Amino acid sequence: MKKGWKKGLAFLGAAAALMVVLAGCSSGKKDNSVKKIQDKKTIVVGTSADYAPFEFPIVKNGQKQVVGYDMLIAQKIADNLGVKLKIENTEFPSLISELKNNKIDMILAGMVSTNQRKKAVAFSKSYYTVKNVLLVQKKDADKYNTVASVKGQQIGAQQTTTQEQIAKNQLKGSNVVTEGVLTSLTTELSQGKLAGVVVENEIADNYLREFPNKYAVAKVKLTTPKDQRSVNVAVRKSDKALLKRINKVITKLQKDGEMTKLFKQAQDLQAKYGTK
Ligand code: ARG
């Protein structure tokens, strides 16, 4: 009887060990996404450089380039893989299809991991948290305090972003105007063609810092749905090994406190080289 028990336990133990091994295999060890990138010696990041301090164009030593917080993180990912970073700058609305069509290997574009996007791509762990506000002209700082006060007004939001949904769902009665490039909307705001633009808080902060006499944040309260708050790297769903590496890099940057430094570094770059 006793012996039988022992045998049974040993069998269960072996079965459990086998299951652990099998689980290890199915969690992406066989996918060759990392090897593919290392073979071509380059990782291509897709972004939309209209989003300082996350990604924006500068002219340095007479050369145009795209820099920012996301690009600094992307560079860390490339370094970890031992490959070069190539930046593919495109409009935000086409990023997910470019990823699916293998034009890019990952997206870093201040992109939040909405439930809807999760159906199409895989997201890394979060590296930043955002909420939404209405950016207005400074002279209108106290004009738009309620949803009712925005009624009938032209409100901008970047196409296919969470800002578009928030503007349409929450600023009822306003006319929502969308563009593929965010900076077109903020230009229209500064020209008085739009009453406001829905943006994330850190983007608004950035405009206020750069142009303190031009813009303000309106008092009207916007709600940022839970699945629209965390900014993540996106990769193809099949690229499990790559995703694992990216998560490792993010965890390390967060533990070191370096993630916060990179954000500051991006702001400094903008102050120094950004186009006014
Ligand atoms: N966080 C918002 C979203 O994911 C907007 C991101 C826009 N990014 C950009 N680079 N323009 O929908």
Question: Which domains are assigned to the chain?
Answer: 33-129+230-273 (3.40.190.10), 132-228 (3.40.190.10)
Atom of ligand 1 nearest to the CA of 50: 11
What stretch of H or E contains 164? helix 162-170
Residues with CB under 6 A from ligand 1: 48, 50-51, 54-55, 92, 109-112, 158, 161-162, 182, 200
Which tens digits make up the pLDDT trace of 28-81?
457 999 999 999 999 999 999 999 999 999 998 899 999 999 999 999 999 999
Ligand 1 atom nearest 114 alpha carbon: 4
Q: Are 247 and 125 a contacting pair, CB within 8 Å?
A: yes
The average confidence (pLDDT) of the chain is 92
Q: Is the peptide bond before 57 cis (omega within 30 degrees of 0)?
A: no
Euclidean distance between CA atoms 137 and 135, whole angstroms = 7
Model confidence at 3, in pLDDT bands (50, 70, 90)?
low
- Ligand 1 centroid vs 96 CA: distance in angstroms? 12
Average pLDDT over residues 230-250: 98
pLDDT of amino acid 28: 45
The amino acid that residue 78 corresponds to is A
β-sheet bridge partners, residue 179: 158
- pLDDT per residue over 97-147, tens digit each? 999 999 999 999 999 999 999 999 999 999 999 999 999 999 999 999 999
Query: Model-level pTM greater than 0.75?
Result: yes
Token pair, residue 14, equals 């072996």
Q: Distance (Å, rounded) from C-alpha 148 to C-alpha 275?
A: 36
Higher per-residue confidence, 20 vs 135:
135
| Strand intervals (E) in the chain | 42-47, 56-60, 63-67, 84-89, 106-107, 122-123, 128-129, 132-137, 154-158, 175-179, 196-200, 215-217, 230-231, 234-235
Cβ neighbours for 89, distance < 8 A, ≥ 6 positions apart: 47, 48, 49, 55, 57, 66
Q: Residue 73's closest CA among 207, 268, 238, 251?
A: 251
Cα(15) to ligand 1 centroid in Å equals: 47
User: Region 181-207: what's the mean pLDDT?
Assistant: 97
Q: Which atom, in ligand 1's list, is nearest to the CA of 231?
A: 1
Best residue for ligand 1 mutational test, from 88, 90, 98, 111 (most atoms within 8 Å of Cβ): 111
Atom from ligand 1 closest to the CA of residue 181: 11
State in Å: Cα 41 to ligand 1 middle. Answer: 28
Q: How confident is the model at residue 24 (pLDDT cuts 50, 70, 90)?
A: very low
Q: What is the pLDDT of residue 30?
A: 75
